[in-house]
Structure 1
Amino acid sequence: MKKVRFLLVFILFLACKTNPFTGKSTLNMYQNSDMFPTAFAQYDAFLKSNTVITGTADAQRITEVGQRIAKAAERWLSANGYPQYLRDYRWEYTLVEDKTINAWCMPGGKIVFYTGILPVCQDETGIAVVMGHEVAHALADHGAQRMTAQTLQQAGLVAGNVALEKDTDRALFNAAYGVGSSVGVMLPFSRSHESEADKIGLKIMAIAGYDPAEAPELWRRMKANAKGGTPEILSTHPSNDRRISDLTQWVPEARAEAQKFGITTFQ
């Protein structure tokens, strides 16, 4: 058991890295070289099995907004002492035919928008809200952090089973651990990533010249399009109401950040 505890402490020590956007230590034991090749391969496989939209005004707009947001992120990173941060990233922005109201980003900068989210975005600035959020996930290494958390969750399960000798005790522990680690740790961890991506994305879109005040408006439209919903405590995402409230409070900070780069008017 002492060896297990030592291993967990050692893993936690190695996994601590600093998030350049928040200045906070994060759990991340994976390097870009560990994550990006696999992510790029999964992205390519996804595109081969889905309908990619090319040559349309919408597809072009997705790419143009993505490039503008990524350039803004590069400006922020260079200005804050991280000029080489994006050297391994391979940005790509793809529109896929799917009625689902969703967009996502793989580690390393591979981003997919579903056509179903475009009516909710409404215009270029709405697309920038979603794009900023997705780009922020990639910038903050959220994919690697999730994998690290899953690894530690599994290590905790193994440690508990090693420590307990009776099968009945192990069964009770496994049941309690599964629910407790999910609801008490993993889901809040995921929600914190979504909120962090919202905040980082808001600043980046503002630096790119898009009005951050559009972000809470987009989430009001998201709320209007929502069908039912999972209670926040059981969800991987914050509630729509929480996101609207948080984004509204963060708008002045995003505008102030943009002013540092000479951006005083927004579209």
Structure 2
Amino acid sequence: MRKLGAVVLLGLLSSCATHQSPTGRDQMLLFSGSEMAQMGEKSFAAIKEKETRATDKATIAYVQCVADGIITALGDTPAEWEVVVFDSEQVNAFALPGKHIGVYTGLLEVAENQDQLAAVMGHEVAHVLARHSNERVSRSQLSNAGLQIADVFLQGTANRDLYMAGLGLGVQVGITLPYGRTQESEADVMGADLMARAGFDPLQSVALWHNMAEAGGGSAPPELMSTHPSHRTRISDLERLQGQVQPLYRQAKSAGIQPRCRR
């Protein structure tokens, strides 16, 4: 009966409808948009409780100005999104389902101008647009279900614990990490497109990652074991992308879309 239940569970998960990301990649999504928005809301509330919010009005206004440009390019109004600046040395930013953006002040020491900050924000918002959070949570659920099913079938098998440990490693390295890199690269493409339409120079995304490489020094993990592409790969990909996004940037400028956000 346990094996039968495991087979039924596997069949139900396998029958879940697949979707396509904005770049045409197949995705397995187990959660609705409203469910993800609720998760994003709870996560953002927890982060706001944990982190110290910035109080410098000029810094907050600068970040909000860049965010407004990105949000407007989406076709949304800035009031629809919650943007919070956190006073922290972390060189980081994020966006969550439910229309939330968080930016750490440490990022402003590496993203040297409005265009570089827009490159980060565009990238993070692209994760939301491409439903990457849904995809990652869904894959985690599928991985957990797969391990449970394997555990059922390996009951009574010699060296069962060894087999389960190997399966766990396979899920982590063979599925989660390479897929993370795919999502990051997809967000780079979509983010560059988004920032260009918002009137920010996408060539500055290349400069940003040169800055990131310098800030990280030799501490970055090897690309093979990282959820992010290496700095070198990311810079190369963004350089090749300029032929596609620079015309969008020029069109935005011609249409009078020229953000003027200064710190």
After TM superposition, the score normalised by the length of structure 1 is 0.87
| Whole-angstrom CA distance in 2 between matches of 1:157 and 1:147 | 16
What residue is the counterpart of 1:122 in the other structure? 112
Cα shift at 1:73: 2.1
Q: Does the CA-based 8 Å contact 2:39-2:97 persist in structure 1?
A: no
> Is 2:181 the counterpart of 1:191?
yes
What residue is the counterpart of 2:199 in the other structure? 209
Q: Does the CA-based 8 Å contact 2:124-2:191 persist in structure 1?
A: yes
What residue is the counterpart of 1:218 in the other structure? 208
What residue is the counterpart of 1:163 in the other structure? 153
Question: Taking structure 1 as reference, are residues 158 and 8 closer, same or farther at Cα in structure 2, changes over 3 Å only?
Answer: same
Q: Does the CA-based 8 Å contact 2:110-2:212 persist in structure 1?
A: yes
Structure 2 residue aligned with 1:91, among 76, 81, 87? 81
> Which sections of structure 1, spanning at least 5 residues, go unmatched?
75-85
What residue is the counterpart of 1:10 in the other structure? 12
What residue is the counterpart of 1:46 in the other structure? 47
Q: Does the CA-based 8 Å contact 1:90-1:110 persist in structure 2?
A: no
Deviates more, 1:221-230 or 1:35-44: 35-44
Cα shift at 1:55: 5.1
Cα shift at 1:241: 0.8
Deviates more, 1:92-101 or 1:169-178: 169-178
Q: Does the CA-based 8 Å contact 1:72-1:208 persist in structure 2?
A: yes
Amino acid at match of 2:38: P
Question: Taking structure 1 as reference, are residues 112 and 18 closer, same or farther at Cα in structure 2, changes over 3 Å only?
Answer: same
> Is 2:177 the counterpart of 1:176?
no
What residue is the counterpart of 2:35 in the other structure? 34
Cα shift at 1:176: 0.7
| Whole-angstrom CA distance in 2 between matches of 1:121 and 1:181 | 35
Deviates more, 1:244-253 or 1:163-172: 163-172
What residue is the counterpart of 1:244 in the other structure? 235
| Whole-angstrom CA distance in 1 between matches of 2:182 and 2:207 | 21
What residue is the counterpart of 1:232 in the other structure? 223
| Whole-angstrom CA distance in 2 between matches of 1:67 and 1:5 | 49
Higher RCO structure, 1 or 2 (CA under 8 Å, sep 6+): 2
Cα shift at 1:170: 2.2
Q: Does the CA-based 8 Å contact 1:90-1:108 persist in structure 2?
A: no
Cα shift at 1:199: 0.7
What residue is the counterpart of 2:141 in the other structure? 151
Alignment: residue pair count:
254
CA deviation profile, 1:142-201 (whole Å, cap 9, x unmatched)? 111100000011111011111113254421221111111111110011111111111100
Give secondary structure in 2 for the equivalent of 1:251. helix
* Structure 1 stretches of 4+ moved >4 Å: 257-267
| Whole-angstrom CA distance in 1 between matches of 2:224 and 2:4 | 34
| Whole-angstrom CA distance in 1 between matches of 2:142 and 2:53 | 36
After TM superposition, the score normalised by the length of structure 2 is 0.88
Deviates more, 1:206-215 or 1:253-262: 253-262
Q: Does the CA-based 8 Å contact 2:92-2:107 persist in structure 1?
A: yes
